[in-house]
């Protein structure tokens, strides 16, 4: 398990400031949290505790999409940490952050499409 100092070493540049990719992280994680929470607060749950299969599926798929994006980001940062050249490492971290942003946008687009489908198909379970 990494210690805090090991994590800091991975994400800091030679002058000790946080790398560009870490500056993107808080807003990206906030967006991911919003995507996961939307099905809980947007009124898609069936009244009286019923089963809204479409909303549950949308929520689960969105969580999986966000988790996959975060996993890809973590792996990319691990690869970046192994680069000896500081400029290459920084470029790698910036690309990892950009890729994460793109993947989370894709998750949001998929969420929106599923919400639209739920509106058309209803909340009952469906057999494909």
Looking up tokens 């970046």 gives: 80
- Model's pTM, two decimal places? 0.61
Nearest to 73 by CA among 88, 91, 90, 93: 93
Along the chain (128 residues), what's the average pLDDT of each consecutive run of 10 residues? 44 45 60 56 46 92 98 98 97 98 98 94 82
What local confidence, expressed as pLDDT, does residue 64 receive?
Answer: 98
Kindly report the number of other CB atoms within 10 A of residue 104's CB atom.
Answer: 21
- Which region holds residue 24: left if phi is over 0, alpha if psi is between -120 and 50, else beta? alpha
**pLDDT recorded at residue 75:** 98
pLDDT score, position 24: 58
Domain range annotation of the chain:
20-42+51-120
């Amino acid at each position: 398990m990494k210690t805090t100092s090991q994590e800091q070493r991975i994400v800091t540049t030679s002058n000790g400031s946080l790398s560009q990719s870490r500056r993107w992280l808080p807003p990206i994680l906030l967006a991911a949290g919003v995507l996961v929470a939307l099905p809980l607060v947007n009124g898609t749950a069936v009244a009286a505790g019923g089963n809204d299969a479409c909303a549950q599926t949308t929520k689960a798929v969105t969580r999986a999409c966000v988790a996959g994006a975060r996993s890809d980001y973590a792996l990319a940062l691990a690869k970046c940490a192994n680069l000896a050249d500081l400029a290459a490492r920084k470029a790698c971290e910036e690309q990892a952050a950009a890729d994460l942003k793109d993947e989370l946008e894709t998750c949001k687009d998929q969420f929106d499409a599923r919400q639209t489908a739920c509106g058309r198909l209803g909340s009952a379970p469906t057999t494909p």
